[in-house]
Amino acid sequence: MEAKEVTFGQVVFRGCGLDVHKKVVVATIDGEGIKKQNREFDTFTSSLKELRVWLLENRITHVVMESTSVFWKPVYNVLEPAGLTVWIVNAAHVKYVPGHKTDKKDSAWLCKLLLAGLLKPSYIPGKEQREFRDLTHYRTKLVQSNASNKNRIIRILEYANIKLSSVLSSTSGVVGTKLIDKICEGEQITMLDIDQVSYKKLEASKDEIYDSRQ
């Protein structure tokens, strides 16, 4: 899916600016035919649903918030399925109002910029693509963690003068795993153990494996 080009100057008649934190969301709504209002909501799902109802009751069409850490994601997940157009903007592109920084000013400033057509939303892929992306990121982390653990095992064996990694192409293979399991159980590796796990295509000889065990 390709990102759609979004240009500045899009007309928004009724909008909401959200200042999202870990425990609280500050919302400011404004636009044609409604009075400017400011409210605070907890970030629990039940409270975010109250925010959604409030926005729909006031016929808000567009919502904008900064891409602050991961805190914007739960809010997005609750608001976007309701038909609201939710914009995520880069915090670096938004200038705060002069003076003391407060949450109410932040949300009001975002709302003002939204209505003025001065914001450009970041591209957010669809739900299916977001879930697939999260899955692939998690898989990558698992693969990296697995590789790190394998290297850690090799280092521990080397510290103990066990040179299995010198004679086996992979200490995480069937042969290496079974022999390491024996070591972890506090048992000595015997030639009988090696006979039981050895196979014809194994590059290392049984004697080499036996010598590497200590």
Whether the per-residue pLDDT at 179 is higher than 80: the answer is yes
Q: How confident is the model at residue 174 (pLDDT cuts 50, 70, 90)?
A: confident
The count of C-alpha atoms lying within 13 angstroms of the C-alpha of 17, restricted to the half-sphere facing its C-beta, is 27
Residue 169 tokens read as 């192409």
- Which residues make beta-bridge pairs with 17? 28, 64
C-alpha radius of gyration, the chain, whole number: 29
Report the mean per-residue pLDDT for the chain. 83
Q: DSSP letters along 15-59, please?
A: EEEEEE-SSEEEEEEEETTS--EEEEEESSHHHHHHHHHHHHHTT
Q: How far is CA 45 from CA 19, 57, 72, 80, in A?
A: 16, 18, 13, 14
* The pLDDT of residue 103: 59
Q: Which residues of 186-200 are buried (b: 16+ CB within 10 A; e: fewer)?
A: eeebeeebbeebeee
Fold classification of 14-124 (topology level): Nucleotidyltransferase; domain 5 (3.30.420)
Residue 211 tokens read as 């010598």
Enumerate helices (H) and strands (E) in the chain, giving the number of each: 8, 5
Domain ranges of the chain: 14-124, 129-212
- Per cent of the chain over pLDDT 70 is 88
In this prediction, residues 62-66 reach a mean pLDDT of 94
Task: List, for residues 189-199, the tens digit of each pLDDT value.
Answer: 888 888 888 87
Whether the per-residue pLDDT at 1 is higher than 50: the answer is no
Dihedral sign (CA 189, 192, 195, 197): negative
Task: List, for residues 77-116, the tens digit of each pLDDT value.
Answer: 999 999 999 999 877 666 654 444 555 678 998 999 999 8
Task: List, for residues 141-154, the tens digit of each pLDDT value.
Answer: 888 888 888 888 88
Q: What are phi and psi of 25, to 5 degrees?
A: -125, 125
Task: List, for residues 117-135, the tens digit of each pLDDT value.
Answer: 888 887 777 777 777 878 8
Which strands, in side-by-side order, build the sheet including 37-42?
Answer: 37-42, 24-31, 14-20, 62-66, 85-89
* The pLDDT of residue 180: 84
Whether the per-residue pLDDT at 20 is higher than 70: the answer is yes
The rounded Cα 159 to chain-centroid distance in angstroms is 36
Whether the per-residue pLDDT at 44 is higher than 50: the answer is yes
